[in-house]
Amino acid sequence: MAMEWITAMDKRPCDRNLRDVELISCRLRRVEPLCRLPGSALQQLAMCGFYEDLEKGVTLFRAGEQGRFWYAVLGGSLEVRYHAHSDADGKSSVTLCNLGVGATFGESILHDLPRDSTVVTKTTCELLRVEQQDFRLIWEKNKELMNDIITNCKIKNGFGPGVQPAGATSPTKRPLSPDHPNPALPITETPSPAMNRMGWALRTLLVVDNSSCLKDRKVSGKLIRKCAPGTELVDWLVNLAPIVHTRAQAAGMWQALLEEGVLTHVNKEQPFKDKCFLYRFRLDEEGGAAAAGTPSAEDLNAANEHIREALSALFQRGPDATLRMILRKPSHERTPEELELVFEELVHIAALSHLSTSIKRELSSIIVFEAHAQAGTILFNQGDEGRSWYILLKGSVDVVIHGKGTVATLKTGDDFGKLALINDAPRYTLLLYRYTVMSGTPNKMLEHLLETRLGQSVSGMDPFLDDFLLTHIVFMPVVQLVDELANYFHCDAHEEAQTPEDREYIINFKKRVIQFMQKWVMAVRHAAFEEPSVCDFIEDLAAEVEADPDLNEETSIIHNVLTQMARYQEDRNQNAGQKWKLPTNGQPICLFSGNATPSKTVIRPDDDIIFRVYCADHTYCTLRFPMHTTAELIKACAADKLQLNRGPDDLCLVEVKSNGERSVFKDNDVSIPTGLSLNGRLFVSVKDHLDALTPLPEQECPTEGVDIDLEILSTKELAYHITIFEWDLFWAVHEYELLYHTFGRHHFGKITANLDVFLRRFNEVQYWIVTELVSTPSLSKRVGLVRKFIKLAAYCKEYQNLNAFFAIVMGLSNMAVTRLHQTWEKIPSKFRKIFQEFEALIDPSRNHRAYRVFVGKLQPPLIPFMPLLLKDMTFAHEGNKTSLDGLVNFEKMHMMAQTMRTIRFCRSRSLGLEPPSPKSEGEVRSYISSFRVIDNQRVLTAMSQKVEPTRKLN
């Protein structure tokens, strides 16, 4: 075995295989200081190095010769000689130093300088020889570490500082450099207060626990205070926290502490691993009074309280910390599973969206994480050689040009540095080419669209045009948009004499307006026709096209728009007079009259709805109003009917939920009845007497539904009809409703009734699961129900009904269900494993990354998890101003439109599921349309404790 590495080294570099490289690398690792190089550098040396076994007295090179090789001493010793001038023979040899094992020499080849000394073997020697070209490549990739090694070697042998670029000062080691990342070291200089506190709390519990793994141990003959193996720390954390289901999750939480320096490997050589490596807390490493002694009872209580409050935050940090650890590992050390995790992350980075899947997979093995904790850190200077491409994951970067100062600020998601990298050019400046329109006035953006984004030369989907069409209602109301388009279309109305060039320009502009209208109708469908001025303008366009021969080419376009408008008007007339009712027993909103085919029925602003309004003594009145009626009008009418002798300013309209919580509506809010929660009721009250409002007795009872034995229903048939029912609800939601919901309905005077009904359905399914389980006193039947619900979730996932899938899994994860230990103990391990996989899919950590990756691989049709889409909209809205210095922030509009396009994508194909063999189709349809539901968590928990009382500890 000892000679195998020499056999491998004797081969030509092109003939060496992976085993040869590994054998040579193992030999090099035994040589100090080469062992300090990262594994990737050692592998490169092993790939291109040559082995030399030289006798005593052999001259490797002489002073003044041009160098071709760099050497490292693996065995024996050499003399470094300097030839000084002498009066006798003109030259005399002076031995400057001896080079032993681990010494390196010959680095003058980096700058093509002649040798400044002569090197001769003093004994039989073993050398590693690397050619100039190969050494330069290795040096560039590991410059700082290689320079440290050469510097230490020269200083040790009495020479000056090592090789440095001209004008450079003494090197400062930067352990977080991407050239040699070290996942065992922290990414911050000091831990954040939150992580420091969490580390203190965990250490306190470990120290107090006499049976814990935190003990004094001897490592290489040295006593290490209070350290523990990674495996035992993982075991302890899994047992401590119910939210931690897997060992990988626990390891990620410990890594989150390690990357901030709260926890460290005893030798600072390993990131956190679920293995027998020893780790200790920073407090014990620093020593002092704080680490000595046993924590007091007060400290223990504080630690327990903090763990209960903040452990979930550490749990959410775990996956990100694991990813950063992988990105700081050398490429060859990343496992296939880790590469797949990195790839899934790269799929969702906007800066890489234009790259193919194969390129992203290649990037997975070479991309590196770099952190800079200090503001003002210079990533590279103007004129530096381009060596890296950067993607900004968090924070911001200023771009500074000599003589101009800061010319741009890059933010999260931006990338930079690739231009100099591709062109092999020095850094000069930064080209911002991410989104064409960052901000502007509404009129100027419309003008830009008409002039540059429409016409015969433009083809395919234009993101800017699509973003404008989907979001213009935020910054440019429909009436204003139509007026501007009319002005552009009739720009020749006051022109008396026109040259042929002017006429051609005007005709082209008219054509672009017509094309704009077509794309507008295609983008937003029936919503484009809801404003009467739009229909009038379309008819005006049609008349102009018919009368003007120059517009004949646009005839088919305008006919298409007219056809869409006629269909909209026919559908509207057909469904005119629809009436809805909000049942008094807590059931969902349903049609009262007006549509013989309720499938895919859209709730319209002028549809009537019948509902009740209560007052403090629980008396009520029944009202009928259009959906777009304001809260102000509803409260005034209800107060009049209920004979509340108060002025409108003294009254308010309030929702009282089943748990007693009250929510006051704004006077200009609309779509009130559809916005009520499960089991919520509408009250009118004097503003000063809101505390007197109490829930109705029936609000704590289940909503009325079909009484049926779930066990007799086919699970697959149940999932099928749930999906069909919810697809109809999802189909009725217009993308604009997401904007109305995010910015506030009162800002637009528009209803969100269809979105309200769809969101209510999510809560209905979730609480239906809980209600059924805690209402079942028989243990065996509860076990059967849990199994049935897990199968139901699986079928919904198969049907790509992810909204219902989330609702079912979250229902099974409800506190009132998870505490049913006797029930869960009897669930077969197969079902428990499936449920754990489902929980991992809905895991909210890393912004629901698991779910986003899963959905990214699906094809339409599918029903998405709507609450997450609304969360994305809210995040974009609250995190970005709508206008900046009087200009529309179009980057924000782009983010909004991206979410709205997701809705469009999910519905881009019609739902065509294969129906299962019908067993009780009528019963199932009736049952799934209105579940029995209790949404009061206090009542559900009490019912849960009744069917399974808490076990008393002896």
Three-state helix/strand/coil letters over 231-256: HHHHHHHHHHCCCCCCHHHHHHHHHH
Q: Assess contact for 120 and 57: CB atoms under 8 A.
A: yes
How many other CB atoms sit within 10 Å of the CB of residue 594?
A: 16
End-to-end CA distance of the chain: 62
Q: Which of 678, 497, 691 is nearest to 588 (CA)?
A: 678
**Across the strands, what pairs with 69?**
131
Cβ burial, residue 161 (10 Å; 0-12/13-18/19+): middle
Q: Which pLDDT belongs to residue 164?
A: 37
Q: Which of 916, 878, 914, 912 is nearest to 895 (CA)?
A: 878
Q: Which pLDDT belongs to residue 759?
A: 94
3-state class (DSSP) for residue 212: coil
Q: Assess contact for 861 and 723: CB atoms under 8 A.
A: no
The alpha carbon of residue 297 and the mean position of all alpha carbons in its chain are separated, in whole angstroms, by 41
Residues in the chain where the model's pLDDT stays below 70: 1-3, 83-92, 152, 154-181, 288-291, 373-376, 382-387, 395, 401-408, 411-413, 417-439, 456-461, 492-498, 592-600, 952-954
Please name the residue that has the structure tokens 């040899």: 93
- C-alpha–C-alpha distance, residues 237 and 250, integer Å: 6
Q: Which of 913, 810, 912 is nearest to 868 (CA)?
A: 810
Q: In this structure, what token pair is assigned to residue 844?
A: 């909210």
Q: Which of 604, 524, 601 is nearest to 564 (CA)?
A: 524
Categorise residue 558: left if φ over 0, alpha if ψ from -120 to 50, beta otherwise.
Answer: alpha
- C-alpha–C-alpha distance, residues 147 and 206, integer Å: 43
Amino acid found at 397: V
Q: What is the DSSP letter of 476?
A: S
Q: In this structure, what token pair is assigned to residue 934?
A: 């209790």
Q: Which pLDDT belongs to residue 243?
A: 79
Q: Assess contact for 213 and 228: CB atoms under 8 A.
A: yes
For residue 2, give every residue at least 6 positions away whose Cβ sits within 8 Å of its Cβ, in sequence order, or none.
none
CA dihedral 842→844→850→854, nearest 10 degrees, is 50
Q: What is the DSSP letter of 127?
A: E
Amino acid found at 769: I
- C-alpha–C-alpha distance, residues 176 and 447, integer Å: 49
Amino acid found at 455: G
The alpha carbon of residue 677 and the mean position of all alpha carbons in its chain are separated, in whole angstroms, by 29
Q: Which pLDDT belongs to residue 225?
A: 85
